[in-house]
Amino acid sequence: MLSVDEATRLVQSTAQPLHTETVPLAQALGRVLREPLHADRDFPPFDRVAMDGIALSYAAVAAGQQVFEIEHTQFAGQAPRPLHNPQAAIEIMTGAAMPPGTDAVVRYEDLLIAEDNNGRRTVTVQVPPTGPGFNVHRRASDRQQGELLLPAGTLLGPAEVAVAATIGAAQLLVSRAPRVAVVSTGDELVEVTETPLPHQIRRSNAQMLQAAAQQVGATAEAFHFNDDLDSLRAGLPALLQQFDAVLLSGGVSKGKADYLPQALRESGAEQIFHEVQQRPGKPFWFGRHPQGAVVFALPGNPVSTFVNYFRYAAPWLRAVQLPEPTFAAPTYAVLATDVVFKPKLTHFLLVSLQSSPTGQLLAYPERAHGSGDLASLLPSDGFLELPAEREQFAAGEVLPVWRFRW
Ligand SMILES: Nc1nc2c(c(=O)[nH]1)N[C@H]1C(S)=C(S)[C@@H](COP(=O)(O)OP(=O)(O)OC[C@H]3O[C@@H](n4cnc5c(N)ncnc54)[C@H](O)[C@@H]3O)O[C@H]1N2
Ligand code: MOO
């Protein structure tokens, strides 16, 4: 049977970059940038006043001057008017451009302003600036015009959206969202809005996969088939041709109604593998339509579907949005208790994660009644990957962790 590493390599080998599209900045969150973005101006674009107070020439302070006449007041957004008399000062606000002739700023907290009967205002500097540039955010001190800010392949979060906004990138070239068909199979499954009979359950896996695919920037449509070879044969070919990925749950193990591997093959999908040396999720079927979708047919037990989605499908859905598909390396956590797992299978162990006072990420195994225990996902933050070669895992061991909650 295929190892988890071999299965991972085969899944990764099917990732091809998706085409691009242009979206308005307001819709770019969570998308992957497919063009490099450079600074249109220096950051900051002018010598920026960093404190509310007065701007003056440091040379006057260095010469021992403490009292300055205020020539005028300048607000942010006003074109700067120069300082005429180098022994005077300009009252000034944070965000304004430094007026020509000034090079240092004194905060209101460090000065006293007095006004005489003629409305003439003078300022006494109580805490002098220590040099030119004091309380000034210097032009180009952060980034220079033309510098690369966001390379192609950057995942756009709020910080990236802000940087795109500041350089005037109102439209962004991003990866097209992966189009995903989410397919549940099974006669026991009813709609979420229905009241199940005693022997039925609601279709939770399809909702889960749809939500999870949306989380990585995909658009996901849901479909359902009963355990019936003819309806699978009739419905699957269109899905395989129209979508980038088809995520199925259920119908892939040894049951008499587990028709999916056969129906997928008859619908034009090539099997790449069936069954991986892992728990949960051993019956995982993976394949591809030569002109269409990559197919993740995940075992139907809810935890099995969930864990296998995050272990194989989510990284794939992220990778195909990159200019050159690459797969993020796993992160690591410290096992908090001893664990014994005897089968010769890679074990995906549900854990909750806590940061220790010494800065370690500690993984606490969560109680779970096997891969049918949907509710065991609730206290869990991710799953550890325990290698198949060993049975005993000691508290303190560092192991790969796949997080589904941050
Ligand atoms: N003889 C064997 N039986 C089973 C094996 C095996 O190796 N030999 N493997 C077991 C393992 S491991 C798993 S996992 C399951 C997976 O089987 P299927 O992928 O064929 O899934 P189903 O039988 O269709 O369903 C399993 C279970 O999950 C529930 N389910 C399915 N779809 C959904 C959904 N959309 N929402 C909520 N729940 C769903 C379904 O009702 C079943 O209870 O097979 C073992 N059997
Ligand atoms: O894949 Mo099954 O989930 O081992 O129970």
> CATH number of the domain that 133 lies in?
2.170.190.11
| Distance from Cα 331 to the centre of ligand 1, integer Å | 29
| Distance from Cα 376 to the centre of ligand 2, integer Å | 14
DSSP state of 97: B
Q: What is the CA radius of gyration of the chain?
A: 31
How many distinct structural domains can be found in the chain? 4
Residues 93, 58, single domain; the answer is yes
Point out the ligand 2 atom lying closest to the alpha carbon of residue 307: 3
Domain encompassing residue 167? 21-38+146-175
Point out the ligand 2 atom lying closest to the alpha carbon of residue 282: 1
Report the nearest-CA residue for atom 4 of ligand 2.
280
Residues 244, 202, single domain; the answer is yes
| Distance from Cα 111 to the centre of ligand 2, integer Å | 72
Q: Structure tokens of 20? A: 């691009």
Q: Tell me whether the omega of the peptide bond preceding residue 17 falls within 30 degrees of 0, making it cis.
A: no
Residues 287, 191, single domain; the answer is yes
Q: DSSP secondary structure string, 2-16? A: B-HHHHHHHHHTT--
Residues 217, 307, single domain; the answer is yes
> CATH number of the domain that 387 lies in?
2.40.340.10
> CATH number of the domain that 315 lies in?
3.40.980.10
Residues 27, 162, single domain; the answer is yes
Q: Which ligand is nearest to the CA of 1?
A: 1
The SS3 assignment for 360 reads coil
Residues with CB under 6 A from ligand 1: 184, 186, 188-189, 201, 203-206, 249-255, 258, 280, 282-283, 299-302, 304, 371-372
Residue 65 lies in a domain: yes
The two beta strands, 148-150 and 171-175, are unpaired
First and final C-alpha spacing in the chain: 33
Structure confidence at residue 251 (pLDDT): 87
Residues 242, 373, single domain; the answer is no
Point out the ligand 1 atom lying closest to the alpha carbon of residue 301: 28
| Distance from Cα 250 to the centre of ligand 1, integer Å | 5
- Spell out the alpha helix ranges (H) of 191-336: 204-215, 229-242, 260-266, 302-308, 314-319
Contact (CB, 8 A) for 100 and 80: yes
The DSSP H or E segment spanning 241 is: helix 229-242
Residue 59 lies in a domain: yes
The SS3 assignment for 281 reads coil
Structure confidence at residue 256 (pLDDT): 84
Q: Tell me whether the omega of the peptide bond preceding residue 100 falls within 30 degrees of 0, making it cis.
A: no
Which of 88, 113, 137 is the C-terminal boundary of a domain?
Answer: 137
Ligand 1 pocket test, pick from 301, 347, 371 with the greatest ligand atom count within 8 Å of Cβ, gives: 301
Residues with CB under 6 A from ligand 2: 279-282, 299, 301, 304, 371
Residues 165, 223, single domain; the answer is no
| Distance from Cα 275 to the centre of ligand 2, integer Å | 11
Residues 246, 296, single domain; the answer is yes
pTM: predicted TM-score of the whole model, two decimal places:
0.91
Q: Structure tokens of 19? A: 């085409």
Ligand 2 pocket test, pick from 279, 349, 373 with the greatest ligand atom count within 8 Å of Cβ, gives: 279
What's the one-letter identity of residue 115? E
Residues 299, 397, single domain; the answer is no
Q: Which ligand is nearest to the CA of 204?
A: 1
Report the nearest-CA residue for atom 1 of ligand 2.
281
Beta-bridge mates of residue 364: 352
Which of 277, 298, 319 is the C-terminal boundary of a domain?
Answer: 319
Q: What is the pLDDT along the chain (406 residues), one digit of tens a residue?
A: 999 999 999 999 999 999 999 999 999 999 999 999 999 999 999 999 999 999 999 999 999 999 999 999 999 999 999 999 999 999 999 999 999 999 999 999 999 999 999 999 999 999 999 999 999 999 999 999 999 999 999 999 999 999 999 999 999 999 999 999 999 988 888 989 999 999 999 989 999 999 999 999 999 999 999 988 999 999 999 999 999 999 999 988 888 878 999 999 999 999 999 999 999 999 999 999 999 999 999 999 999 999 999 999 999 999 999 999 999 888 999 999 999 999 999 999 999 999 999 999 999 999 999 999 999 999 999 999 999 999 999 999 999 999 999 8
Structure confidence at residue 279 (pLDDT): 97
Residue 275 lies in a domain: yes
